[in-house]
Structure 1
């Protein structure tokens, strides 16, 4: 495969949607780390480069935008199954397409036509694609991702706290604060009786900070 073909037809799918002030490009690709990803913004283009690592393969894609953007106000977010690129529009025009020159000068449309929310609209935003279905697929994949280690433990505590009663939440807050983060209890009846003492792990000693 030539470099040109790799640039024009990269091995990932993408879609886009827009608000009154921004354009968001979503690139569907899994397991990319921030060290492998480089994104550069200019007024009329977005240069995406991924060093995939496998067999030293590299993926490049240049989005030649149909309208100008503000490079220093653009950003991107990397998730486990996608890259979300947010572009700041120079003008509040509705883009008829993501890439390519526009023959007609577009006027600003009423705000009811271009939603202010940065959430994806519930209708297709590019020809032949249904953003709602794509977003639903992404959410399913992210939900199936199982956290590990400290992240899994934090998620467990968050789930317990979020689903717990007021007494469970009070018990967790009181025990954690009074014990210096060494005890986390959900039993309010027990915790409410007295101050929760610090219980450091075996082999460790708790010392107060002295100024």
Structure 2
């Protein structure tokens, strides 16, 4: 049969809720095409079978596949992909991430640009806890599609003291309503969480990381023969022995993100026992043990395979770094030794514990942490040095060129926003600070090449072309020597 036939049969099986039968059919279809519709159907099937990691993989791949195709159904598939991500993060106990994705689904349904910088994931307090409340979500309907100022809902909103809000119909009113209703359930739980609950942390990005390879179908191995030893204890004759599995298969799945102050690394290790973990920070490494290994169930505390050394992509301050653990992952918050410095990668994992835990260039003693430590208060965060050697970028500020990697210009005890009050570049500073490295690169290229007349955060748009100077209406652009 053709991939189209497999895809059609797989989607029909999902509609009939025969999820176990749908997955192999969709596997066959997706072997030759990353159809967003098929990926979303398989994500739903995996979710219903509680294969949450596989479902999240398909939802993220569906988002990228839809965006790259740019067809008439792309926005619908991107909206559905964000909603599916929201449901899956909810299932995984990541409630703040679930609400962010639901909000992004709503914004797409309103017709907003997919690459728009909206700071949905930046609404956190000094402890990095998500601050959006149930009441905020209920009131978040001013841009509801299909409710223009002249509609009944718009008129009622005006009478009630609102601005009449709403937007014209986009064709995605049902999707918007679905996400709006779903947020009430997500935020209802968020409002009941304690301040130290990891579900309050935002670890998600608007545009998900693109999966590098497809999830392969898991095939259950045939039963292993059992033989009897002389002591009559049954032993699996084909069970792997210590050291028989390559190190690459033992390594954990890792995700990370960073800001000017820290790098947050998520290590996905199921069933890691928080009370038993030993986490040792040094200036360029982190050692953790004992770690459960999905690929090697025989691992016991004390085995070489039970420990990992994470060689970091930059220097850290061990005394200010911290960690937390949940039944599904271990999260490291690594405080940068040089705030403002961008890491090209989080680092690499090496199986086993190393004997050297400090950098030869900086013999800082290792800090041993045997229990999670609380997040630092705002007073414990170090202000980046203004003498950094990072490049100074063009600016129209009256104070001259600025280093945009070191925005914190407030004096001790002074609020940063107050310090920058009146600076025409304050908005652009905040935009640049909250952008990804790729978005920052796009902003600088577009700003410099256009002589300050254009600012774009879309690298896919400006990366392969020169951004032309587009002066305001009534202004003529001239070269310096003219």
State the TM-score, normalized to the length of structure 1. Answer: 0.44
* Rg larger in structure: 2
Compare the two structures and name the one with the higher helix fraction. Answer: 2
Tell me: higher relative CO, structure 1 or 2? Use CA pairs within 8 A at least 6 residues apart.
1
